[in-house]
């Protein structure tokens, strides 16, 4: 039986240490590429740039929410900004025109009624009940870029033109990944990620770092990975499990990074420290 209890990575030959360093660099690059994919692919799920909680919910649970402007209009403190019930009804009718469409649409009822280009809008225009006119008269004092009122809300929620308005005027109905696609993704990741993780954390055991650190990182990494994988499926049932995905992923990624750093220090720093300790005093 081969005894590896005294083997340390720092005692390996120069060429082997170079090969292991390249191996770790490829693992880090692959993990980074995966993170980049999540940010730039999953992060587009809600139609807005950047990865958000809504992207995560839409990907693994699904989202079906009314237009944000419609929700706001139902709050008494916001309805008070309108001068009549007719204005409220006109805005609600306009926003409900997109309930059957996707969040971002082109040439649909919401956009058509906002642009209001045609003789069928003459009566509403004369009554001042076109969406654009109402928003301009009641909202733009605060909800315009650089508006003096509103404490800067106009820069966060601008309503001065349709490209800005459409971010808040459509129902958000986003379907999650299909079970078939999630199963294929699980098949790929459940087999590949634990395999390279086992190699990395197995090599971590061949370092001189304290036992609690080596064994602790080993255990935490796989617990985090299991939580991440479980969250992808459990979130289909209840959105409360969504926290397992970023939480487990962060634990696994953190442990993986610490393990690789510990290995690099063992391979490239400890040999020199060991040599310095062994040199006879001058």
Residue 2 phi/psi, 5° resolution?
A: -80, 130
pLDDT at 72 over 70: yes
CA dist 5 and 257 (Å) reads: 24
pLDDT in tens, 90-149: 888 888 875 544 433 445 788 888 888 778 888 888 888 888 888 888 888 899 888 888
pLDDT at 278 over 90: no
CA dist 242 and 57 (Å) reads: 7
**Predicted local distance difference test score (pLDDT) of residue 100:** 45
Which residues make Cβ contacts (< 8 Å) with residue 155, sequence separation at least 6? 145, 146
Give the pLDDT band of residue 150 (cuts 50, 70, 90).
confident
**Predicted local distance difference test score (pLDDT) of residue 103:** 36
**Predicted local distance difference test score (pLDDT) of residue 11:** 86
As beta bridge partners, residue 63 has: 174
């Amino acid at each position: 039986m081969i005894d590896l209890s005294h083997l340390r990575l720092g005692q390996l030959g120069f060429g082997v240490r170079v090969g292991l360093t390249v191996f770790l660099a490829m693992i880090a690059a692959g993990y980074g590429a995966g993170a980049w994919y999540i940010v730039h692919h999953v992060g587009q799920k809600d139609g807005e740039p950047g990865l958000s909680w809504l992207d995560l919910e839409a990907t693994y649970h699904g989202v079906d929410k009314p237009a944000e402007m419609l929700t706001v209009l139902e709050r008494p403190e916001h309805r008070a900004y309108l001068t009549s019930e007719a204005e409220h009804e006109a805005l609600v009718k306009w926003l409900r025109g997109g309930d059957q469409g996707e969040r971002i649409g082109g040439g649909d009822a919401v956009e058509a009624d906002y642009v209001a280009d045609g003789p069928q809008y003459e009566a509403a225009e004369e009554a001042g009940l076109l969406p654009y006119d109402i928003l301009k008269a009641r909202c733009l004092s605060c909800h315009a870029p650089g508006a003096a009122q509103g404490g800067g809300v106009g820069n966060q929620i601008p309503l001065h033109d349709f490209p800005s308005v459409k971010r808040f005027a459509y129902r958000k109905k986003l379907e999650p990944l299909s079970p078939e696609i999630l199963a294929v993704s699980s098949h790929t990741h459940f087999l590949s990620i634990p395999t390279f993780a086992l190699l990395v954390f197995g090599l971590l055991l061949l370092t001189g770092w304290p036992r609690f650190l080596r064994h602790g990182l080993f255990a935490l990494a796989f617990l985090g990975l299991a939580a991440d994988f479980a969250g992808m499926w459990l979130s289909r049932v209840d959105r409360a499990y969504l926290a397992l995905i970023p939480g487990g992923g962060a634990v696994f990624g953190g442990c993986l990074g610490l393990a690789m750093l510990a290995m690099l220090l063992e391979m490239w720093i400890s040999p020199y420290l060991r040599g310095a300790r062994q040199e006879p005093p001058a």
